[in-house]
Amino acid sequence: MNTSIRYLDSRTPDLGRYIRAGDTLMWGQANAEPLTLIQALVEQRHALGRLRLFLGIGQNRLLEPEHADAFDFLAYCATGSNRKLAEADVLDIMPAHYSLLPRLIEQRSLRIDVLMLRVSPPDAMGRYSLGMAREYLIPALESARVILAEVDPLTPWTYGGPYLREDDFDLLIDSKVQPASTRKTEPGPVEIAIGRHIASFIEDGATLQTGIGSIPDAVLAQLRDRRELGVHSGAIGDGIAELSKAGVITNGCKSIDVGVSVGGVLIGSDIVRQYAHMNSALELRSTQYTHNPAVLGKIDRFVAINSAIEVDIGGQVNSEVAGGRYVGGVGGILDFLRAAQSSRGGVPIIALPSTAGGRSRIVTALSGPVTVPRGDGCVIITEHGIADLRGMPLAERPRQLIAIAAPEHREALERQTRNGCP
C-alpha cells in the first residue's frame, strides 16, 4: 500500500492520484455505498478517463444515465437506483450466481483495480470495520491495486473481520454525505396473507434466510411467538434486528455458528445500525462463507425465502426480467434454494403476489430467462395459497399452480394449458 493520507477538512480528494483510465471500480452496495467518494468520482469523471463501475444494489441518486459519457456500468442486478440505468440501456448485467462472485474476482475474470469503502470509525485498538457489508468486498480487498475509504460516524462497527488499520488504505477521508437508509415497508393485505402462508413452514429452532422488502417484513411480523430461531442470510434488515431484540432470534439451535446471526450486508434504517454496532451476536461474512454450498450444507432446518417475477406452470422461475426489461438479478436465489432443498428439515420457498399491473405472475410460459429450473422444485406461495412442488410430477404441477393464481386469471391459464402451451 501507498502511504495513507487522512483529510480532516472539507477538501475534495484528487482521485486522479489513485485512479487510472481503464480501471474497474467496486464499492459496497445499498447502505454501504461510499457516497462522498462516489460524488467526487462523478465530479472528476472527465479528468479521469473512461472507467468501468461494478455495481451492487444501488441506493444513491448520484449516478445518472448521462454519466455513461465516462463510465461503463456493470452490475449483477438492476434493483434500486440501478433501475434507471437499465431503463436507459446503459447498464450491462453479469448474470452470475452470488456464490461465484469471489472466485470471479480472485481469478480476475472480474478484475477489480480500485475498491472504495465506507468504514466505521476505529475501535479502541485502532481497527476500522467494514461496517455495513462484507460479502464480495473481502475478495476485492485482496485483489485491488488501490483501496480508498471514507470514515462515517453513523456506520456501525461490526464483527466478522477483516479489520483494517490506517496504513491499509491508500486514501482515508471523512464522510461528508449521510448514508442511505432503507425503511421497513408496511405490508398490505396481499403481503400479510403471503407472510402467514410462509410462517406456517417456520418451526421453533429453524434457521432463516430472507431478502429485504414487504414480503420478508410480513413474514417476520408473523414470528413473534416462535422460539430459538436462527439466521444465515445474504441480507439482514430491521425485521431481523427487531426479532433479535425481542428474543425470538437467539441462534441457540443452529447446527453451525451457534449463538451468532450470520449475514453479508445490512440493509435497513437506524434500527439495524444500532442493533449491529459492537454486537458480537452478529457477524458479517464474505460471500465465500454466506453462499458457500459446503457451509450451507451443514445447516439443518434451513428455510430459504426468496421472491420472483413470475413462475410458469411447470415450476420454472424467472427472477430477472419483467416486460422485456432487466429489473432483478440471479443473485443468491439458487444458492439458497438448493441449500434448503438438501437441508434436513429445510424448506425452499418462492413467494410472490399473484398479479402485477393486472397481469398474472403464474404464467404458462416465462417472459424472461429461467433463473430457477423446474428440477429445483420449490414451495411456491402467493396470497391465494401454497403449491408444494417438491417431488411433484409435471402432470400435477399446472393444477397446483393455477389453484394459487389470481381467481380472475385461472380460467385463461387452464384454457392455455389445455391448448398445449408449455
Identify which has the larger pLDDT, 360 or 12: 360
Residue-wise pLDDT tens digits, 325-367:
999 999 999 999 999 999 999 999 999 999 999 999 999 999 9
Whole-structure pTM value: 0.95
Residue-wise pLDDT tens digits, 82-139:
999 999 999 999 999 999 999 999 999 999 999 999 999 999 999 999 999 999 999 9
Report the C-alpha gap between 60 and 40 in whole angstroms.
13
Q: What integer is the mean pLDDT of 364-393?
A: 97
Strands 385-388 and 379-382 come out as antiparallel
User: What strand order describes the sheet that includes 6-7?
Assistant: 6-7, 171-174, 146-151, 114-119, 24-27, 51-55, 71-75, 91-93
Sort 319 into a burial class: Cβ within 10 Å, 0-12 / 13-18 / 19+.
buried
pLDDT band at 6 (very low <50, low <70, confident <90, very high): low
Report the C-alpha gap between 392 and 378 in whole angstroms.
10
The answer to whether 38 touches 63, Cβ cutoff 8 Å, is yes
Identify which has the larger pLDDT, 167 or 418: 167
Among 176-180, 372-376, 385-389, where is mean pLDDT lowest?
A: 176-180
pLDDT band at 223 (very low <50, low <70, confident <90, very high): very high
Report the C-alpha gap between 304 and 339 in whole angstroms.
8
Q: What integer is the mean pLDDT of 28-51?
A: 97
* 343: nearest Cα among 293, 395, 309, 391: 293
DSSP state string for 175-204:
--SPPP--PPP---HHHHHHHHHHHTT--T
Among 8-12, 165-169, 178-182, 336-340, where is mean pLDDT lowest?
A: 8-12
The answer to whether 81 touches 59, Cβ cutoff 8 Å, is yes
Report the C-alpha gap between 37 and 12 in whole angstroms.
9
* Whole-number pLDDT of residue 185: 75
* Whole-number pLDDT of residue 421: 54
- Predicted confidence (pLDDT) at residue 197 exceeds the cutoff of 80: yes
Domains detected in the chain: 6-174 (3.40.1080.10), 189-418 (3.30.750.70)
**55 is written with which cell numbers?**
455495481
- Predicted confidence (pLDDT) at residue 418 exceeds the cutoff of 90: no
* Whole-number pLDDT of residue 310: 98
* 27: nearest Cα among 192, 120, 150, 193: 150
pLDDT band at 409 (very low <50, low <70, confident <90, very high): very high
* Whole-number pLDDT of residue 184: 74
Q: Helix, strand, coil: what percent of the chain each, to 5?
A: 30, 25, 50
Q: What percent of the chain has pLDDT over 70?
A: 97
pLDDT band at 181 (very low <50, low <70, confident <90, very high): confident
The answer to whether 389 touches 377, Cβ cutoff 8 Å, is yes
pLDDT band at 211 (very low <50, low <70, confident <90, very high): confident
* Whole-number pLDDT of residue 8: 45
8, 14, 17, 19 alpha-carbon torsion, rounded to 10°:
110
Cell 462484507 -> residue? 134
Q: What integer is the mean pLDDT of 226-243?
A: 97
Residue type, 38: I
* Whole-number pLDDT of residue 9: 46
pLDDT band at 2 (very low <50, low <70, confident <90, very high): very low
Measure the CA angle with vertex 145, ends 142 and 150; round to 5°: 85
* Whole-number pLDDT of residue 5: 52
Kindly tell me the sign of the dihedral angle through the C-alpha atoms of 147, 152, 154, 157.
Answer: positive
- Predicted confidence (pLDDT) at residue 33 exceeds the cutoff of 70: yes
Distance of CA 374 to the CA centre of its chain: 23
Residue-wise pLDDT tens digits, 64-92:
999 999 999 999 999 999 999 999 999 99
Report the C-alpha gap between 100 and 97 in whole angstroms.
5
| Residue 150: strand pairing partners | 118, 173
